[in-house]
């Protein structure tokens, strides 16, 4: 008796087991079941342990319009109608609709992934348009997930698009991720990367990872079924510990070449499609490293670490060293309106800008530039005898700078500008541009 499936999970796990087995055969037959047309898939497997298994499935057929839409896929002998049917039944969650998420979503929708989920809480900003090709100027200040859903539906009305208009947190991660088979991580911060990884491990979901920085990108596949009932390496096997807080800037702080997320995001889409359709060899246990400047790449192999243990979701801000930075009880704060009063009254104080040179050149509050990475080495430039205000773009890096100076250099009169230059532009002087 055939097992009737409307979801990808069972068939995909069998296909992965088959691809990693000693010998396997797959036979197909068009049949009618309860008045509907289906594809009967019979998979016969001999595993590495010499055990023989057979699996029989009935899968929803493609419509006439889908045959035409996906004809270039179906024409590929090793992909064909069967591969397209697997995509139709796949459920993929994309975390983040930014630089990586934009090309990911476009190509997954175009490829015919049956259900696509999007996790994002941000709105479109003009600075996004340099790389986030899903959006245009008419979308500025609007919800990214709602705009994405509309544009993806226009691209392919045959698929189902679910939006989760929130940030992924320890409170909602398992509930959201449990609804999907594959997760594509398009985030740009370490707490969320570890959260996505751990939730995928706990829920037995595949995690397709990508990251970009300036001219370089990375791609890998985590937690892939190994064909013998186990799972491949995960993010913690590759990066057991996060880097020091704020040692690796995000795109807004460190910059990224606009085309690079398109390249890496497309590679992530490729890995998702390979996994969902059961074709090719995914990047499990391999980290693909791409250098756009030299147009070279290398692949680093890695394996599972027996000491890696994930039993529950944790406080990822604390794990990544961010909680102490955000604990403002140890840091004096000053608002932008208070800073304006200090300026207008002629108060004797020092203003330090801890951003990067290119940020300072774009807009500044006429403070003295000492980038965060140089703050301890150049601490002699900071006056210990009078009030000092340190600011950055949003208040995060300046809080880090103050923590470092207080803990290592004994400063006591430092003040963090709450909200940074963004707050100054919004509340004091709109002529100061934001980014």
Domain-wise residue ranges, the chain? 3-61, 71-323, 327-427
Distance CA 292, CA 62 (A): 39
- What's the CATH architecture for 71-323? 3-Layer(aba) Sandwich (3.40)
Return the pLDDT at 321.
78
Return the pLDDT at 172.
97
Return the pLDDT at 327.
56
- Residue 366 pLDDT > 60: yes
Residue 377: partners with Cβ closer than 8 Å, 6 or more residues away:
none
- Residue 264 pLDDT > 60: yes
Distance CA 385, CA 403 (A): 18
Phi and psi, residue 238, nearest 5°:
-85, -45
Distance CA 387, CA 325 (A): 20
Encode pLDDT of 121-131 as tens digits.
999 999 899 99
Distance CA 283, CA 290 (A): 14
Encode pLDDT of 303-321 as tens digits.
999 889 999 999 998 898 7
Q: Which two tokens stand for residue 4?
A: 């009737």
Burial 46-74 (b: 16+ CB within 10 A, else e): ebeeeeeeebebbbbbbeeebeebbeebb
- What's the CATH architecture for 327-427? 3-Layer(aba) Sandwich (3.40)
Distance of CA 78 to the CA centre of its chain: 30
Return the pLDDT at 223.
97
- Tokens 């200090």: give the residue: 342
- The number of beta carbons lying within 10 Å of the beta carbon of residue 226 is 16
Q: Which two tokens stand for residue 218?
A: 């990375």
Burial class (CB in 10 A: 0-12, 13-18, 19+), 119: buried
Residues with a known catalytic role: 251, 392
Angle at 241 between CA 286 and CA 182, to 5 degrees: 45
Percent of the chain topping pLDDT 70: 83
pLDDT band at 26 (very low <50, low <70, confident <90, very high): low
Q: Is the pTM of this model over 0.85?
A: no
Distance CA 212, CA 308 (A): 25
Return the pLDDT at 27.
58
Rounded to an integer, the average pLDDT of 52-59 is 51
- Residue 29 pLDDT > 70: no
Return the pLDDT at 246.
63
> H/E element holding 185?
strand 182-185
Return the pLDDT at 9.
38
Return the pLDDT at 38.
55
Nearest to 48 by CA among 19, 25, 26: 19
Contact assessment for residue 5 and residue 89, using Cβ atoms and an 8 Å cutoff:
yes
Please give the sequence-ordered ranges of beta strands (E in DSSP) within 34-141, or none if there are none.
36-46, 52-60, 91-95, 115-119
Return the pLDDT at 371.
92
Percent of the chain topping pLDDT 90: 73
Return the pLDDT at 59.
54
Encode pLDDT of 196-219 as tens digits.
999 999 999 999 999 999 999 999
CA distances from residue 302 to 160, 199, 299, 412, 416 in whole angstroms, order as listed = 36, 21, 10, 46, 42
Contact assessment for residue 354 and residue 397, using Cβ atoms and an 8 Å cutoff:
yes
String of DSSP letters for 268-281: HHHHHHHHHHT-S-
pLDDT band at 407 (very low <50, low <70, confident <90, very high): confident
Mean pLDDT, rounded, of the chain = 87
Return the pLDDT at 400.
87
CA distances from residue 432 to 13, 128, 355, 416, 420 in whole angstroms, order as listed = 54, 19, 15, 19, 12
Return the pLDDT at 194.
98
Residue 355: CA count within 13 A, CB half-sphere: 28
Return the pLDDT at 254.
77
Rounded to an integer, the average pLDDT of 97-117 is 97
- Tokens 């009078």: give the residue: 386
SS3 44: strand
Rounded to an integer, the average pLDDT of 89-117 is 97
Q: Among 159-173, 194-208, 240-254, 309-323, where is mean pLDDT lowest?
A: 240-254
Distance CA 84, CA 146 (A): 27
Residue 53: partners with Cβ closer than 8 Å, 6 or more residues away:
44, 45, 46, 47
- Residue 54 pLDDT > 80: no
Encode pLDDT of 70-102 as tens digits.
999 999 999 999 899 999 999 999 999 999 999
- Residue 64 pLDDT > 70: yes
């Amino acid at each position: 008796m055939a097992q009737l499936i409307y979801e990808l999970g069972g068939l995909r796990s069998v296909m992965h087991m088959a691809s990693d087995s000693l010998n396997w055969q797959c036979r197909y037959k068009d049949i009618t079941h309860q008045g509907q047309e289906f594809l009967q898939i019979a998979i016969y497997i001999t595993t590495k342990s010499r055990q023989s298994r057979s699996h029989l499935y009935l899968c929803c057929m493609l419509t006439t319009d889908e045959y035409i839409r996906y004809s270039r896929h179906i024409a590929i002998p090793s992909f064909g109608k069967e591969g397209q049917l697997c995509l139709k039944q796949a459920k993929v969650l994309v975390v983040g609709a930014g630089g990586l998420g934009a090309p990911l979503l476009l190509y997954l929708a175009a490829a015919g992934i049956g259900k696509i989920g999007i996790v994002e809480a941000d709105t479109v900003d003009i600075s996004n348009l340099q790389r986030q090709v899903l959006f245009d100027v008419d979308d500025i200040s609007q919800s990214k997930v709602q705009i994405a859903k509309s544009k993806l539906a226009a691209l392919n009305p045959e698929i189902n698009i679910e939006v989760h208009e929130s940030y992924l947190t320890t409170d909602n991660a398992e509930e959201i991720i449990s609804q999907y088979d594959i997760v594509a991580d398009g985030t740009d911060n370490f707490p969320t990367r570890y959260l996505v990884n751990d939730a995928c491990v706990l829920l037995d979901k595949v995690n397709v990872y990508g990251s970009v920085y300036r001219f370089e990108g990375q791609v890998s596949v985590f937690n892939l079924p190994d064909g013998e009932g186990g799972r491949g390496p995960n993010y913690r096997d590759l990066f057991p510990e996060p880097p020091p807080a704020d040692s690796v800037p995000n795109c807004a702080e460190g910059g990224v070449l606009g085309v690079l997320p398109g390249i890496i995001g497309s590679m992530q889409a490729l890995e998702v499609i390979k996994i969902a359709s059961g074709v090719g060899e995914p990047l499990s246990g391999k980290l693909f490293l791409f250098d756009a400047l030299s147009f070279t790449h290398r692949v680093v192999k890695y394996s599972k670490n027996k000491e890696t243990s994930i039993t529950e979701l944790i406080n990822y801000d604390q794990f990544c060293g961010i909680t102490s930075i955000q604990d403002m009880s140890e840091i004096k704060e000053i608002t932008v309106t208070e800073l304006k009063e200090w300026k207008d009254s002629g108060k004797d104080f020092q203003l330090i800008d801890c951003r990067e040179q290119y940020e300072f050149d774009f807009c500044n509050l006429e403070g003295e530039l000492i980038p965060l990475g140089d703050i301890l080495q150049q601490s002699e430039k900071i006056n210990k005898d009078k009030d000092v205000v340190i600011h950055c773009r949003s208040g995060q890096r300046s809080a880090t700078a103050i923590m470092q100076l207080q803990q290592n250099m004994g400063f006591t009169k430092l003040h963090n500008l709450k909200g940074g230059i963004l707050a100054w532009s919004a509340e004091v002087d709109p002529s100061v541009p934001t980014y």
